[in-house]
Amino acid sequence: MARKIVVVGSSNTDMILKLNRIPRPGETILGGEFVTAAGGKGANQAVAAARAGGSVTFVARVGQDMFGEQAVAGFIEHGINVEHVQYDAAPSGVALIFLDDDGENSIGVASGANGNLSPADVRKAETAFSTADVVVMQLETPLDTVQAAADVAVANGSIVILNPAPAQPLPDKLLEKISILTPNETETELLTGITVTDDASCNQAADILLGKGIETVIITLGARGAFVASPELRQFVPGFKVEPIDSTAAGDTFNGALAVALADGVTLAEAVRFANAAGAISVTRMGAQPSAPSRDEIDALLDREMLVAANGDVAKHEPHLHMHTRPREVATAPNGRQ
């Protein structure tokens, strides 16, 4: 199966400093371990989708520098179509990441060439959009470019996933073009004013977002799983119990894997379960793109969990947050794709 995915977004080089804890303002902590890794939310999602089995085209800008050359070489190594990755006069994007012993992180980003990705760049890639099953976007590139990508994707009948990160207010004209919005708790609160703490608040926030014309909302809750809401479905899809090492790009891995599962034509709940598995594996490894699991690894984790469930050993794997809304299954992915 082709599973054609277009990702429009950012490419960064991550510079990671691993410390016992994240420094407070004005504080210096010595003794950290330093590593670099390929990153950027768009690039992370493109690599995650490719490793999960997708045929991926990436639309992006990188600098004419060592970081840009290394990034493009990495995309090619993962089998990603780089025809629409352009070199820019601005430097490549860079992210500076503090990572603590619990796998939590604090990130600052210099956008560089990512800030020059334009609506014209998106329109030049329309041939890729014309055959895409799913288009994935984030918010590390200009908002008018994200809007252009949504417009082109809808015009070509693709499922449109927007990961609204980093968190920022979004216009209704963009949201009404979105098939699936995937905010975390922080992004959900910014977009709705609702603090997500339980099933009631998840439902309340989802109602607000669905009211803006979004077809489906998936509120990601980290290790606990994800809350899925559409006009036909309200369901909590639990996560997987793992020992976290680095949470960097777990959300990006979730979104890339979700795109592939939806392109496969599985039910929405099954697609979220697949994405949860991919995200869980990613937090057990260091780095952004290096942590993205292969399709075989994702399938193996899902198979192991099915065996656990078949043996009746489910209780200890239940997350702390339980949704009381009765689950309902749907037969098709968003936009009616089989």
Give dist(CA 240, CA 86) in Å, integer: 38
Give dist(CA 184, CA 30) in Å, integer: 32
Q: Is 252 a catalytic residue?
A: yes
Q: Residues 88, 133, 151, 252: which is the catalytic one?
A: 252
Rounded to the nearest angstrom, the gap between the alpha carbon of residue 172 and the centroid of all alpha carbons in its chain is 21
Give dist(CA 126, CA 107) in Å, integer: 33
- The per-residue b/e assignment along 304-331, b for 16 or more CB within 10 angstroms, e otherwise, is ebeeeeeeeeeeeeebebebeeeeeebe
Q: Structure tokens of 196? A: 């997500």
CB 260 within 8 A of CB 52: yes
Rounded to the nearest angstrom, the gap between the alpha carbon of residue 36 and the centroid of all alpha carbons in its chain is 21
Residue with tokens 């430097």: 91
DSSP assignment of 130-189, as one string? TT-SEEEE-SSS-HHHHHHHHHHHHHTT-EEEE---S-----HHHHTT-SEE--BHHHHH
Q: Which residues are identified as catalytic?
A: 252
